[in-house]
A and B are shown apart, each in its own frame.
Chain A
Amino acid sequence: MSVILEIDHVTKRFGGLIAVNEVSFLLEEGEILGLIGPNGAGKTTLFNCINGVYAPEEGRILFRGHDITGKPPYAVARMGIARAHQVVRPLNELSVLDNVTVGACYGRENLSLGEGRRVAEEVLEFVGLAEKRDVLAGKLNVAEKKRLEMARALAARPYLLLLDEVLAGLNPAEVASMLNVIRAIREQGITILMIEHLMHAVMNVSDRIVVLDYGKKIAEGSPKEVANDPKVIEAYLGDPELALSLLEEGK
């Protein structure tokens, strides 16, 4: 296995607030790495640094051996990092098919419009949105929009997929089917870095977990190790419900 993403002492500040503080970790090709931590721990900010929405003040981010620190988001996308947002961002007035075609055409493979359409149709089939292809994206329900967000990212044929709380707001049946989609994506050889609050899901699907708290990495390891780590439990004490589910996972 080789390293696909290297986060090397990355720091991102907003004025006096340090949102991400000297965070380092490695991501192996083909693995699913869960990124967890209480609200405000800096998870989404770290995603924004990785895909170029923010430029970190310090540290480096290496993707497949290339330094991508501070590159604009579109350049990062073209290199093969795709992202599904926590707050879904469908292109409302475009059809579902067009949304996914955008992902395909402007993704890693830089496809022509015709090829992009074909890839988009395949991906819609894969995530189970095929019959909605001609519907305007704004008209989908929440679960469908989440799938669309995922489909658009997948159509880019990325090496690395950043998933930001794609399970939030889904009912248990929808969560289960989305988890199947995530596993199937990994089967295709795509590496996944996912932020997730749904503890049992992330523990279940991840190979390894990194825990952030107040912008710092406080733990890293297998789901079991992390769930039994006293520092992690302490970090979650502010959120008893999460702490409880974390403890349950540890058993």
Chain B
Amino acid sequence: MRWLRDPSFWVSVLIVALAGAWPLVTGSASGREDMSLILMFVILASSLNIVLGYTGYVNFGHIVFFGLGGYIGFYLISQMGWHLIPAAIAGAIVTALFAAVLGAIILRLRGAYFALATIGVNEAVRALIVNWDALGGAVGMTMNFKRYQAYGGPMNALWVAYGLMIVVALLSVITSYGVRTSKFGLGLLAIREDEDAALVLGIAAPKAKTIAFVLSAIFPALAGALFFFKNGNIEPGDAFRLHMSVEGIVMIMLGGYGTVLGPIVGAATYERLRGYLLTSPIFKDLQLAFAGVLLLLIIIFVPSGLVGWLRNRFPKVRRVLA
């Protein structure tokens, strides 16, 4: 296997695996919650990066996949009594189908028009769910505590969900690496640089973009099912928060657009920074404004992000940091 001999593959995978395993070793519940959030951000950012960083399409509606996977998973567990794993997988399959249909339609749009359409899709789906009484409408749904018995009680269920979150995070990072280093990924990069030229070079862009879109939809859908299972309730406002898509974009920019490691580094940095700002007495009230200033500085002065900057500045590290 070419991958297994590539140091940059191991760097990305081991960072996620080791960080993810840490709370399992210490057994700390608060450590688990922090890391769970970071892993979820890693999943959101790495998967979004396939469309945004590799293919060059700005998707503000990435969170719609998270919300859909979350809703379907939650419904199957709480109302139909399914087990978490099949419910999450079913959510991911339906979400992937949704992404395939949606992608085939809206990926015809380019640039700002695509970005706007994704906002519209997110808001339309959210508004639809708000009106959908079987899914609890605007109030959402709450998990009956008895459901957690199957996982050894509510406490244990949290650890189960966490373990699965590590698995999904690893899968999303491995997928991101796999795409980035494949012929398919090279085609996506060509589309990002100049779609018309890519078409003339023989890349079936409509199909390639749709596949990328579907791949990017699977992992947030799984993460959504795990997150809301752990959360115990789900409502449209939490599931389809437009803001979270943008946070995902910020993480990617912070770490490095179009790289495998960038979204991982960006997700961790962003979560830590936000955690610090939220608890710091000086910045507590101003955390959003502070993050905004930081984002602006990054875009203007380090547009390629942390990992991108390192790769450009020190070409030798490219072997290690994909």
Contacts and interface: CB of A to CB of B under 8 A. Distances in A.
Interface of A: 51, 53, 72-75, 77-78, 83, 85, 89, 91-94, 98, 101-103, 105-107, 112-113, 116, 152, 156
A105 B183 contact: yes
A78 B202 contact: yes
6 contacts: A73-B199, A91-B197, A93-B192, A102-B187, A113-B182, A116-B183
Interface footprint category on B: 20 to 34
B186 interface: yes
A105 B198 CA distance: 12
- Among A51, A73, A89, A98, the one with the most B-chain Cβ atoms within 10 Å of its Cβ is A73
Contact of B201 (A53, A75, A77, A112): A77
B186 A77 contact: no
B320 interface: no
B199 A72 contact: yes
A142 B224 CA distance: 49
B204 interface: yes
Q: Which are the 9 A-B pairs with shortest beta-carbon distances? A: A77-B202, A106-B202, A91-B193, A89-B197, A113-B183, A73-B199, A74-B204, A102-B190, A73-B200
Nearest to B191: A91
A89 B205 contact: no
A187 B114 CA distance: 46
Given A74-B204, A78-B202, A107-B202, A92 B197 contact: no
A85 B197 contact: yes
B200 A77 contact: yes
A131 to B, nearest CB: 16
Interface in B187-216: 187, 189-190, 192-194, 196-205
Contacts of B199: 53, 72-74, 77
Most buried by A among B192, B194, B202, B204: B202
